[in-house]
Structure formats: structure tokens, C-alpha cells
A and B are shown apart, each in its own frame.
Chain A
Amino acid sequence: MIKRVEVQYRGIFQKNLGKYIGGDIVMIASRMGRVAFSNGRYSDAPERNGIPCKYFAFVTHDLSEEELEAECGAKLDIDAADISLVVDDTMSKGVEPWGWHGIRPVNEKVGHKGCLLMVTRREHDDLVRFMAKKDYPYRLARLEGDASLAGLWVDRDDLTRERCLGAIAAVDPDVIGIEAVEEYLREKTGDENRVRAAREAYEATLRKNKVVNAGEGIDWPHEIPVLPKWHEFEEGGVVVPAVPRGFKLGPRGQNRNEGFKHGTSKTERPVVRFDLCIKCTLCWADCPDECFDPTDDELYDVNYEVCTGCHKCAEVCPVKECIVMVDELEFENTDSPWEHHKQDPAGYIQWAEGKKGTKRIRYAHVTGSTGAEISEGTTVPPKA
């Protein structure tokens, strides 16, 4: 028997978290007399901030190390996961780690009766409505918490790591057991807070654990491309067709790379109050992903398909409340906000303010450090 665990995480921001959880599973399983190993998905390197990535851990009760490695070691990805741990819930809208991969469902690899374990503050149904339907039942377990984003050098030690281990023990004790998790944390850190965090997460996850029936979810809207075979490549090296030149004013007026969109990197997206815009061009000029489309009324439409949610536009915009970043799970589609604004200016403002809500977060400069500034937003009246 082999138990396969995948950790789906945000590149760089959660790179250390994914690696630690994979390593911890191996150490804990070994203490239980099981054989295990863990590795990262080869093709994710080099990782980029925000890009969806994977880390794996494999556990067996009855095979030797050599047999386990032969079975699991040389594969790019797994076929079916017993546990798919997702440490940021905005990935439920799909994951596109590289070109020619397509935007794939986050639950793609969850096997029959497997478990999708997600760190989230959302309700069961609020997550399932974004995820692809499967033709067999699986479990969705929720571990309450925010996505723990950190940096390459400064870690965010907010107990997410310990809590994930407790939750894994809850959803499948054949991977790791909760007593072994507690023993491991106690011996390794000597910190009872960490032990308690794992136990509490274990108990909470036992409760927040519900079956998603076959056919529940959505028809996946994104096409999954098929990679060309080696003999289909052109002779004499690799020649990739350039993006054809093409530009006109208005939504989607700029030709873009069709083979890779990059939009699944975002955890938040900018909501723009077009009526407040002073047409300074900064959001458009400073966007590293070319996602703003200039329009004939000198505004800048946002192409949410290719926006990576970097916060730069919101940061450089000189007008208060004009561009505000909002959680990606608040949105159903990537439709043009400028078209919405043109068709129904008053309705658009209402919609935008509804999405923005009242809380404004300004993150600390060093990603892993705590100290985000949270303030109350104001609803600026429409500009005549």
C-alpha cells in the first residue's frame, strides 16, 4: 500500500511551508515504523512568486524504501492523491503552473474517496462552487485559517505547519497518526503550543469534513491542452511562434500569449472605480504583466485573465479608494470591468463597492513578517 500526499502551495510565498510539511510527514511516518520520502515537483523550478506549485510525500506500511522510490520517485506528477493539501484556498479557481498545462482543477488528482484538505475560512459550498465536478465521491476537509504567505528568507511562523500536520492525521491516519505528530513536535521543538495547535487542528478537521458527491461542482470551463510529442517538434531546434502583432483600443485589444495566461497566480485582484480615475496612466505603465487595456476614453480596462494580482497598481494609484485589492474568491468570472462600467455606471459603482467591502489591508514590506495595517475603507461618492 502506498499513500500519496500532495501539497499545493503558492510558489516562493509558501515554498518553505510546503517543503517543511513534506519533510515532517516523512519524519513522523518513519517514527511510526513506516517508510516514506518526499520531493518537490521537478517542473515547478524555478518557482516564481504566486505561481501554483506542488510538493509530494509518499508513505508505505509494507514496501521497502527501494520499492517505494521505484514506484514514486521518477514521476513528474502523481496520478491520484490520497490527500491533496491546499494551503491557499484561492487555488480552488484552478491552477496553471506553466505553459501548455492549461488551467486545471485543484481537485484534479484527488482519488476515489481521497481527501481535498484546504486551509480556508470559507464554507463547504462556497468552495465547491468553484471546483470541477468529478465522477466519483471524495471528501473536502477544511482547516480554518488564512493562507500563510512568507518570503524566501523570512518565515512566517504562525503554526500553519503544525496545524496542517494535525489535519493530515485527522483525514488519513494511515499517512501519519496524531500521537506520532504530537511526539515529534514535542521532541523537536519542546514547545507545547505547537503540540496543542496540531491536536486542535486534528479535532477541528475531524468535524469539518464532508463528502463531495459525484457530479457536484462545475463543468470545468478551461480546456486542457495536450503537449506535443517529441517527434512533433520542428527540426533544427525549438522555434516558438511569436505572438502576432496586434493592438487596438478597448478590452482585449492587445494580442497576448494564448498558451499561458498566468492568471491563477493571484490571490487578490484589483477592483477599479473608473469614475474616480484621474487618467495618470501609472497602473498601466507600472504593470509588469501588461494586463491593462487602454480604452478610447483614456481609462484602463483590466484583463483579469492575465492579471497576477501583484498589488502594484493599487500601490502606485495616487487616488484614494480608486484601486483596491479584493480576495479572488469573491469573483465568478474574468469579464471586463470597463464594459460593465460603460453599460451601467451607477450599477458598477455599487458592484465595486460591494466587492471592496469595508476592510482595507496594507501588507508589511517583508512578506513573512507580521504587521499588516488594517483600516476601515470609505465609500467615495460617485464623481460627476
Chain B
Amino acid sequence: MAMQLPVIDYEHIKKAKDAPLEEFYTSGHRTCQGCESALVMRDFAKASGPRTIATGATGCMYVANTSYQTTPWIIPWMHTQLGAGGSSAVGMAAGLRALMRKGKIPKEKINVINFSGDLGGADMGLSGVSGALQTDYDLLIILYDNESAANTDIQATGLTTYGAQTTFTPPGSVRRIMQARWKKNVAPMLAVGHPTCRYVATASATFPALDFMNKTRKALNTGGPTFIHTFDPCPKGWDFHPGYSRELGELGIRSGIFPLYEILDGKVKYTYDPHKKGRIPVRDYLVKQGRFAHLIDEDIDYIQGMVDTMWEEWELPGIAPIKSGLEMANA
């Protein structure tokens, strides 16, 4: 069983000025100009502080951050294989617990955070993430989702938006839409299936301000295995000017295509609630990206229709695709 450890009680960051100034993931990483995933790294390291160990599955945030014998990490970081995000977090947490039990290191709270990309975390490594969420270890898994295998120059994954151009899904003269899959709904899938996991959230590094850092802190304060899915506009793969990466994240959330919420002990809270704040047309979000340049009105209408269904017909809007009208057997 888990041993009782002193806790780090993270404060909720109320104002931008209260955010910690010190960096634990610092300059000198070979990421793209305007990379939002790099901000996810920066913000989770900043929010969790120096007593943190990060493990990273293969992906952009591995390769870009270890450019030939150099690193921007100040906290310890370990690379693990593409599908091994979950198991590396379990191994790290188990190792720390064993060392503490044997008295080899002081008994103190050390955060274990794994980050996996959408290919590593949501396609290939999904079983490992699921396994990790069934343990009693304190660990946080962050799925940084730039909607492609961006490191190897943009291949489609299960989380790529419908219709997007990637190197796997180039639009042709006969078939325009090659990415015909709808985005996999990972966070709710994990929330529904893992009672041991008390905290699941979705987030964006820059919108609303401080939201992601506070969700990271909430996950660490909740303890046990926890999960955050971040929405990271990628200037390289989505094909937009790097200066607009914050704007693209905001448009994605305001249009309702990426729902923002947290689930703590089964209670859902929308951190951007389109029911109150309204939704902008998905067109405003799509036309600002070169990966959708080949779409015609019909395609945009289809995507709008799918998003409308998410918010208007689902029992848990934007989260679970269960529609009302429960039928009891033999009723």
C-alpha cells in the first residue's frame, strides 16, 4: 500500500503576477517558433516546481528538447519509448517508493509527471496510460496534443481533426478528404473507465490564462494517478504563422471543437462553458490553417454539424457521446 508522505500543498494561482517567475524548463530547445507544446512543458514544470521528475515519450517534445547532448530541462528528465509513457511513470513512481521504503532517499513528495504526444499517448501508448491510471501511485500523465506525429513532419494520428492535410492524408483530385476519422475522445474515455483516477482535465497552455498551470497543480494536489489532455496549436503542421498560436488555441476552444473541462471525483466542471459564453463558427478556426485549405463549404458544414451534435445532443455536452432516451431491458 501507499505510504503516507508529506504533501506539497500547491496554491491556486489567482493573478498572472502570482505565477512563479523561475523556470524549470528553460530556453534553448529546438522547437518551432511559436510552439504551444513547448509552453505546456514550461508551464507544467513551472507549476509543479523543483521536486519533480519528468518522463517523456518519443515525440516532438523529446527530440526537440535533446539537441545533441544539450537540454533545456532543469528538473530531471528521462526519455522513454513511444508507447511507454504510462509504464515509465509507474516505474518511476514505484522506484521512488521502493527507495524511500528502504531508506535510501528521504521520505518526501516527489512529483512524477509523464508527457506523451497524441501518437505516443492516445494511439500507441493508450494501454500503458490506462494501466498507469489503475495504480495507486501519485503520477500525472499529460497528453500534449498537436494533432499529428509532428516530430516526423506531420503524420495523421487518431487525434487529428477530420479533414486535415498531413503527409499520410494528402488531398487528391479523386478524394479530397483523406483524414476521414473523427478525433478520438481520450480524456472522457479515461475518466469513465478508471475509478482510481480522481482527476481528469483538458486544457490549453495559453487560454484561459493560468488555467493549465492551475489544473496541473490541482492534479498534483488531488494525488493518485491523474490525467490532463492539452490542446496545442502547431504552427508547423497546422500551417499558420507562428505569431498566431495563442489565437488558434482560443478559436478552437471558443468554437467548441475542443471542449475545456475538468472532472474531479466524477463531478464535471466546464472551464470554458459554451452554453454560457456561446460558440463561434468553426469556420473562423478552420480557415486560419493551411491544413484545411482544401476544404470546401460542404466539409466545413459537416464539421460544424458534428460539433453542434456534441454540444446539443450529447447527455454530457462536449464530453460523452451518450444521447438521452435510456431503454431498460424487459421494461
Q: Shortest CB–CB separation between residue B46 and chain A, in angstroms? A: 10
Q: How far is the CA of A162 from the CA of B326 in the complex (A)?
A: 64
Assess whether B290 is in contact with A151, with CB atoms less than 8 Å apart. yes
Q: How far is the CA of A314 from the CA of B36 in the complex (A)?
A: 16
Q: How far is the CA of A169 from the CA of B266 in the complex (A)?
A: 69
Q: Shortest CB–CB separation between residue A268 and chain B, in angstroms? A: 10
Map CB proximity to A onto B54-94 as digits: 1 under 8 Å, 0 otherwise. Answer: 00000010011011111111111100000000000000000
With A49-B32, A262-B27, A314-B243 as known contacts, state yes or no: A242 contacts B71, CB within 8 Å. yes
Answer yes or no: B35 CB below 8 A from chain A CBs: yes
Q: How far is the CA of A31 from the CA of B59 in the complex (A)?
A: 42
Assess whether B245 is in contact with A312, with CB atoms less than 8 Å apart. yes
Assess whether A367 is in contact with B290, with CB atoms less than 8 Å apart. yes
Assess whether A256 is in contact with B72, with CB atoms less than 8 Å apart. yes
| Count of inter-chain pairs, beta carbons less than 8 A | 217
Please name all residues of chain B whose beta carbon is closer than 8 Å to the beta carbon of A366 when the two chains form the complex.
239-241, 288-290, 293
Answer yes or no: A101 CB below 8 A from chain B CBs: yes
Q: Nearest A residue to B240 by beta-carbon distance?
A: A365
Answer yes or no: A70 CB below 8 A from chain B CBs: no
Assess whether A367 is in contact with B74, with CB atoms less than 8 Å apart. no
When the two chains form the complex, which single residue of A101, A309, A315 contacts B247, counting CB atoms closer than 8 Å? A315
When the two chains form the complex, which single residue of A49, A281, A303 contacts B16, counting CB atoms closer than 8 Å? A281
Answer yes or no: A363 CB below 8 A from chain B CBs: yes
Q: Shortest CB–CB separation between residue B159 and chain A, in angstroms? A: 18
Assess whether B239 is in contact with A368, with CB atoms less than 8 Å apart. yes
Residue from the set A242, A254, A261, A368 with the largest chain B CB neighbour count within 10 Å: A242
CB-CB contacts below 8 Å: A136-179 with B: 151-154
Q: Shortest CB–CB separation between residue A248 and chain B, in angstroms? A: 9
Answer yes or no: B165 CB below 8 A from chain A CBs: yes
Q: Shortest CB–CB separation between residue B48 and chain A, in angstroms? A: 14
Answer yes or no: A48 CB below 8 A from chain B CBs: yes
Q: How far is the CA of A227 from the CA of B31 in the complex (A)?
A: 21
Q: Nearest A residue to B247 by beta-carbon distance?
A: A315
Map CB proximity to B onto A361-384 as digits: 1 under 8 Å, 0 otherwise. Answer: 001111111000000000000000
Answer yes or no: B17 CB below 8 A from chain A CBs: yes
When the two chains form the complex, which single residue of A100, A266, A306, A312 contacts B69, counting CB atoms closer than 8 Å? A100
Interface window among B18-26, B139-147, B179-187, B309-317: B18-26
Answer yes or no: B39 CB below 8 A from chain A CBs: yes
Q: Shortest CB–CB separation between residue B259 and chain A, in angstroms? A: 22
Assess whether A256 is in contact with B28, with CB atoms less than 8 Å apart. yes
Map CB proximity to A onto B23-47 as digits: 1 under 8 Å, 0 otherwise. Answer: 1111111111111101100100000
Please name all residues of chain B whose beta carbon is closer than 8 Å to the beta carbon of A289 when the two chains form the complex.
27, 29, 31, 38
Please name all residues of chain B whose beta carbon is closer than 8 Å to the beta carbon of A98 when the two chains form the complex.
30, 67-68
Answer yes or no: A115 CB below 8 A from chain B CBs: no
Answer yes or no: A74 CB below 8 A from chain B CBs: no
Answer yes or no: B163 CB below 8 A from chain A CBs: no
Residue from the set B151, B154, B243 with the largest chain A CB neighbour count within 10 Å: B243
Residue from the set B74, B165, B242, B246 with the largest chain A CB neighbour count within 10 Å: B242
Please name all residues of chain A whose beta carbon is closer than 8 Å to the beta carbon of B67 when the two chains form the complex.
98-100, 259-260
Assess whether B153 is in contact with A48, with CB atoms less than 8 Å apart. no
With A152-B239, A366-B239 as known contacts, state yes or no: A243 contacts B26, CB within 8 Å. yes
Please name all residues of chain A whose beta carbon is closer than 8 Å to the beta carbon of B281 when the two chains form the complex.
none
Please name all residues of chain B whose beta carbon is closer than 8 Å to the beta carbon of A242 when the two chains form the complex.
71, 73-77
Q: Nearest A residue to B38 by beta-carbon distance?
A: A288
Q: How far is the CA of A285 from the CA of B154 in the complex (A)?
A: 27
With A46-B152, A99-B67 as known contacts, state yes or no: A260 contacts B30, CB within 8 Å. yes
Assess whether B71 is in contact with A238, with CB atoms less than 8 Å apart. no
Q: How far is the CA of A242 from the CA of B50 in the complex (A)?
A: 12
Residue from the set A100, A254, A365 with the largest chain B CB neighbour count within 10 Å: A365
Assess whether B241 is in contact with A363, with CB atoms less than 8 Å apart. yes
Answer yes or no: B116 CB below 8 A from chain A CBs: no
With A48-B236, A227-B68, A281-B19 as known contacts, state yes or no: A365 contacts B30, CB within 8 Å. no
Please name all residues of chain A whose beta carbon is closer than 8 Å to the beta carbon of B23 when the two chains form the complex.
247, 254, 290
Q: How far is the CA of A100 from the CA of B67 in the complex (A)?
A: 8
Map CB proximity to A onto B3-20 as digits: 1 under 8 Å, 0 otherwise. Answer: 000000000000011010
Answer yes or no: A240 CB below 8 A from chain B CBs: yes
Assess whether A261 is in contact with B27, with CB atoms less than 8 Å apart. yes
A-B contact pairs, 13 of them (CB 8 A): A46-B64, A46-B151, A49-B33, A99-B69, A100-B70, A152-B153, A153-B165, A242-B75, A256-B27, A291-B27, A309-B33, A363-B243, A367-B239
What 10 A-B pairs come out closest when comparing CB atoms?
A: A257-B28, A311-B243, A259-B70, A99-B67, A310-B33, A151-B239, A99-B70, A49-B32, A306-B27, A365-B288
9 A-B pairs besides A48-B32, A288-B33 with CB distance below 8 A are A46-B64, A153-B291, A257-B28, A260-B68, A282-B209, A289-B29, A308-B33, A312-B243, A315-B247
